[in-house]
Structure 1
Amino acid sequence: MLTFSVSSAIIGIGMAAFLAMPSHAFDGSDAVASDKTPFRSFKNPHAALQAGLEGFRSGDQHSAVEALKYAAAGGESLARWKLGKMYADGDGVPHDDIKAYEYFSQIVDTYDEDNPNRREVSVVASAFVAVGIYSLNGIPNTKVVANPERALEMFQYAATNFGDANAQYNLARMYLDGADVVAKDGRQAARWLYLAADKGHPQAQALLGQMLFTGHDGVQKQRARGLMWLSIARDSVQPSKDAVLSKKDQWIVDLYDKAMAAASDTDRQVATIYRDDFKNSKHN
């Protein structure tokens, strides 16, 4: 059973700074109260979105959540995304996966691929991935049951049409593990992992590195190339000297350490050359 994190699927999507604005400074009691408070009047949904963002900046959570809900009801995708993320994380509002799923689903269901808003591509892609993860796992004790076919559809769409690294990673995981809706296929998994890894996705880099280092599920063994990806992934999640490594990233460091212990001096030397070349290519 694949159990991916919705929170991790909506991190680092490259939106404007206000989208990443934290709400953890607010407690959940005000959020509950705002659910029971009628919307105040706004000129239009976009004005409500701006008011909501300003509410977060000024520390007025009650006003911000109220405004975002008004904007979301009026079709503002950014407001729906922000609320979905808040409910998925339990960040400033009570944790509620059903509400998160509903807000992300609204973005997916109303997306017009014939007339897309280019400024919202990252938000839309993130919503597709979140709906995919909820569909894959289901939400216990709710009407949202596991639906791998729906998950595959969401991941494939976001991976292909938006080039979203999280979608590519999750799609690769489905091919790696195999499921009722997709046959186990190491080569397909490696293909999607490479696309995500090349965009800087640490988890994809680590899994691709392991596959190449060990030769996994039909993927030809390339020990130095695999060690290169593992090294890049390890560097991406390695905390500063005063920080603590996140538990969810420890497996990446463990894979790297295991590969390094098994690598020859030649493997390590060539991997270092590959890594330097890769980093230089990204800076040029």
Structure 2
Amino acid sequence: MRSGGAAWGLVLPVWLLFLLTFPLYGVSPAAADFEAGVAAYDRGDFEAARREFAADDSPEASFYLGRIFDLGQGGPRDPDLAARYYGIARGGGFTVSGSQGVKFRWYLSAAERGDASSQARIAEMYLEGDGVKKDAQQAEQWLLEAAQNDYAPAQCSLYEFYSNGVGGEKDPGLALSWLHRAADGDYVRALTTLAVLNYRGEGVTQDKAEAARLYTRAAAQGDVNAAYSLGVMYYHGDGVGQDYCKAARLFDFTARRGDSAAQGLLGFLYDNGWCVPRDKFAAAMWYLAAARGGNGQAQYNIAVMYLNGELGRTDRNMGLEFMEKAAANGVPEAREALVKLK
């Protein structure tokens, strides 16, 4: 419920009191205590860290303040204030390489305190040489730290690390063990990756039924790609019993979220009345949505509807327009139709 009364002025939160108490550019160089700010930051006392950094006029202190407000540490996030501090840091000569170094130190301090997401980020920085020299062994160690803390993104990264042999020789068995561990925690990225492996029989015995079960778990969490892949399996009866009704529900879910392939297939279901009412106008709506998203088959299907007058009247211009787009997208039927039409 909205309120415009006086209650807004009764209590000021700590972060706002800080902003009112300390000016943006710091008190004075004499009051600077950057190291005290870093120490406070490292022990998680962000209120004290803000005080110390605000009392320091160095570009590096401004960068730290930008990070604090960017990440909402010790108070609400404030992207605008963060941007101002970042600007001050850049204006003071704080370089990109310098910012990378500070970023690495920031994540490292959190990683050493046991924060799993920071441990995974440090690993990524070692892999990419972001603010630190590339080091696959260090990356592996930090990924293992995060993965053993049950951080599923790190477990998936270890799958990729060992699958690709980033640190040396490939180890498919170890890679899969980490992927399974992440999937056991219902992590969507792991579920969909494992589903693809099971569907294709890559690194595991092919098991399309298991792929469908994994896609179902990911789709239940709202993953659009998993829902579409599962819908296609039901549509074709591939690894599961053919079921146009389940396919229609899954395509409807993904189509409404902008997936052009699902939009085209949902249009086809309405066009033919498979488990949904036969409805040319609903079919055309979904064909058009898919066609505008670049789906060649949908472009061909809507072109045929326009040319045949299936929507109440013939529209040769629209029909030709979409037929040409379908032909350009490599649809053989469209190329053949254009030869006859012209």
**What TM-score, normalized to structure 1?**
0.57
Corresponding position of 2:211 = 189
Q: Residue 207 of structure 2 aligns to which amino acid in structure 1?
A: D
After TM superposition, list the pairs within 5 Å mapping 1:1-284 onto structure 2: 42=39, 45-47=42-44, 55-56=66-67, 57=70, 58=82, 59=86, 61=99, 62-84=101-123, 98=136, 102-109=141-148, 111=149, 124-139=151-166, 142-143=167-168, 145-160=169-184, 162-180=185-203, 182-217=204-239, 219-236=240-257, 238=258, 252-254=259-261, 256-258=263-265, 260-261=267-268, 264-267=271-274, 269=276
Does structure 1 retain, via aligned residues, the 8 Å contact 2:251–2:265? Answer: no
72-81 or 55-64, larger mean C-alpha shift: 55-64
Give the secondary-structure state (helix, strand or coil) at the position aligned to 1:42: helix
Shift of 1:42: 2.9
Shift of 1:263: 5.9
Alpha carbons of 1:223 and 1:171: their partners in 2 closer, same or farther (altered >3 Å)? same
Does structure 2 retain, via aligned residues, the 8 Å contact 1:168–1:195? Answer: yes
Q: Which has the higher contact order (CA 8 A, sep 6+)?
A: 1
For the aligned residue pairs, the C-alpha RMSD in angstroms reads: 3.9
Alpha carbons of 1:203 and 1:100: their partners in 2 closer, same or farther (altered >3 Å)? farther
Between the aligned partners of 1:147 and 1:168, the Cα distance in structure 2 is 20
Between the aligned partners of 2:65 and 2:231, the Cα distance in structure 1 is 43
Between the aligned partners of 2:274 and 2:131, the Cα distance in structure 1 is 49
Does structure 1 retain, via aligned residues, the 8 Å contact 2:196–2:211? Answer: yes
* Unmatched segments (≥5 aa) in structure 2: 1-36, 50-62, 71-81, 90-98, 280-342
Between the aligned partners of 1:103 and 1:255, the Cα distance in structure 2 is 40
Alpha carbons of 1:174 and 1:67: their partners in 2 closer, same or farther (altered >3 Å)? same
Give the secondary-structure state (helix, strand or coil) at the position aligned to 2:202: coil
Q: Residue 209 of structure 1 aligns to which amino acid in structure 2?
A: G
Shift of 1:206: 1.2
Does structure 1 retain, via aligned residues, the 8 Å contact 2:271–2:278? Answer: no
Corresponding position of 2:302 = none
Q: Residue 220 of structure 2 aligns to which amino acid in structure 1?
A: D
Alpha carbons of 1:177 and 1:92: their partners in 2 closer, same or farther (altered >3 Å)? same
Shift of 1:132: 1.7
Q: Residue 197 of structure 2 aligns to which amino acid in structure 1?
A: M
Between the aligned partners of 1:231 and 1:138, the Cα distance in structure 2 is 40
Between the aligned partners of 2:144 and 2:118, the Cα distance in structure 1 is 13
Alpha carbons of 1:223 and 1:53: their partners in 2 closer, same or farther (altered >3 Å)? farther
Does structure 2 retain, via aligned residues, the 8 Å contact 1:225–1:271? Answer: no
Alpha carbons of 1:149 and 1:234: their partners in 2 closer, same or farther (altered >3 Å)? farther
Q: Which has the larger radius of gyration?
A: 2
Q: Residue 77 of structure 1 aligns to which amino acid in structure 2?
A: A
Does structure 2 retain, via aligned residues, the 8 Å contact 1:129–1:154? Answer: yes
Aligned length: 201
Give the secondary-structure state (helix, strand or coil) at the position aligned to 1:183: coil
Alpha carbons of 1:46 and 1:190: their partners in 2 closer, same or farther (altered >3 Å)? farther
Percent of aligned positions that are identical: 18
* Unmatched segments (≥5 aa) in structure 1: 1-39, 112-120, 239-251, 273-284
Between the aligned partners of 1:44 and 1:85, the Cα distance in structure 2 is 22
Does structure 2 retain, via aligned residues, the 8 Å contact 1:49–1:67? Answer: no
Q: Residue 175 of structure 1 aligns to which amino acid in structure 2?
A: N
Between the aligned partners of 1:94 and 1:106, the Cα distance in structure 2 is 19
